[in-house]
Amino acid sequence: MILRSVVERINSGEMKEDEFWFVALKFAEVAVERARGIFKTKETYDDYIIEYYIVEIMRFFFGLSSILFYAFLRDHGELRYILNLKSA
Protein backbone atom coordinates (compact mmCIF):
# COMPACT_ATOMS: atom_id res chain seq x y z
CA MET A 1 0.00 0.00 0.00
CA ILE A 2 1.23 3.46 -0.86
CA LEU A 3 1.08 5.93 2.01
CA ARG A 4 -1.04 9.04 1.66
CA SER A 5 2.06 11.23 2.26
CA VAL A 6 3.82 9.56 -0.69
CA VAL A 7 0.77 10.10 -2.90
CA GLU A 8 0.74 13.78 -1.93
CA ARG A 9 4.43 14.15 -2.84
CA ILE A 10 3.80 12.39 -6.16
CA ASN A 11 0.96 14.78 -6.94
CA SER A 12 3.04 17.79 -5.95
CA GLY A 13 5.96 16.67 -8.12
CA GLU A 14 8.31 16.42 -5.14
CA MET A 15 8.87 12.68 -5.14
CA LYS A 16 12.23 11.37 -3.98
CA GLU A 17 14.01 8.61 -5.87
CA ASP A 18 13.42 5.97 -3.20
CA GLU A 19 9.70 6.83 -3.17
CA PHE A 20 9.60 6.53 -6.95
CA TRP A 21 11.18 3.07 -6.80
CA PHE A 22 8.74 1.99 -4.11
CA VAL A 23 5.83 3.05 -6.33
CA ALA A 24 7.41 1.54 -9.47
CA LEU A 25 7.98 -1.83 -7.82
CA LYS A 26 4.48 -1.92 -6.33
CA PHE A 27 3.08 -1.04 -9.76
CA ALA A 28 5.13 -3.87 -11.29
CA GLU A 29 3.79 -6.36 -8.74
CA VAL A 30 0.21 -5.36 -9.52
CA ALA A 31 0.81 -5.40 -13.30
CA VAL A 32 2.23 -8.94 -13.17
CA GLU A 33 -0.57 -10.19 -10.92
CA ARG A 34 -3.26 -8.66 -13.15
CA ALA A 35 -1.64 -9.95 -16.36
CA ARG A 36 -1.58 -13.48 -15.01
CA GLY A 37 -5.21 -13.16 -13.92
CA ILE A 38 -6.44 -11.66 -17.20
CA PHE A 39 -4.77 -14.12 -19.55
CA LYS A 40 -5.10 -17.29 -17.50
CA THR A 41 -6.97 -20.12 -19.20
CA LYS A 42 -8.39 -23.19 -17.53
CA GLU A 43 -5.31 -25.32 -18.20
CA THR A 44 -2.40 -22.94 -18.57
CA TYR A 45 -1.14 -19.41 -19.05
CA ASP A 46 -0.43 -17.97 -22.48
CA ASP A 47 3.10 -16.87 -21.58
CA TYR A 48 3.71 -14.89 -24.76
CA ILE A 49 0.67 -12.68 -24.29
CA ILE A 50 1.33 -12.28 -20.58
CA GLU A 51 4.95 -11.22 -21.11
CA TYR A 52 4.02 -8.88 -23.96
CA TYR A 53 1.38 -7.24 -21.76
CA ILE A 54 3.77 -6.88 -18.82
CA VAL A 55 6.56 -5.42 -20.97
CA GLU A 56 4.23 -2.92 -22.66
CA ILE A 57 2.69 -1.77 -19.38
CA MET A 58 6.09 -1.30 -17.75
CA ARG A 59 7.56 0.39 -20.84
CA PHE A 60 4.69 2.87 -20.74
CA PHE A 61 5.21 3.44 -17.01
CA PHE A 62 8.90 4.25 -17.48
CA GLY A 63 8.45 5.97 -20.85
CA LEU A 64 11.06 3.84 -22.62
CA SER A 65 11.40 2.26 -26.06
CA SER A 66 11.68 -1.55 -26.21
CA ILE A 67 15.44 -1.64 -26.60
CA LEU A 68 15.97 0.88 -23.79
CA PHE A 69 13.55 -0.97 -21.53
CA TYR A 70 15.53 -4.22 -21.79
CA ALA A 71 18.81 -2.36 -21.21
CA PHE A 72 17.19 -0.66 -18.19
CA LEU A 73 15.93 -4.02 -16.94
CA ARG A 74 19.43 -5.53 -17.01
CA ASP A 75 20.55 -2.94 -14.44
CA HIS A 76 17.60 -3.32 -12.06
CA GLY A 77 17.63 -6.77 -10.50
CA GLU A 78 14.69 -6.25 -8.16
CA LEU A 79 12.43 -5.12 -10.99
CA ARG A 80 13.68 -7.99 -13.18
CA TYR A 81 12.90 -10.43 -10.35
CA ILE A 82 9.37 -9.06 -9.89
CA LEU A 83 8.58 -9.14 -13.61
CA ASN A 84 10.00 -12.68 -13.97
CA LEU A 85 10.26 -12.44 -17.76
CA LYS A 86 11.58 -15.50 -19.57
CA SER A 87 12.62 -13.39 -22.56
CA ALA A 88 14.70 -10.91 -20.51
Q: Name the 3-class secondary structure at 77.
A: helix
> Mean pLDDT lowest for which of 37-41, 55-59, 67-71?
37-41
The pLDDT of residue 41: 66
Q: Between the CA of residue 46 and those of 15, 35, 41, 74, what are the distances in Å?
A: 36, 10, 8, 24
Q: How confident is the model at residue 54 (pLDDT cuts 50, 70, 90)?
A: very high
pLDDT in tens, 15-48: 788 888 888 999 999 999 998 888 776 566 677 8
* pTM of the complete model: 0.76
Domain ranges of the chain: 27-83
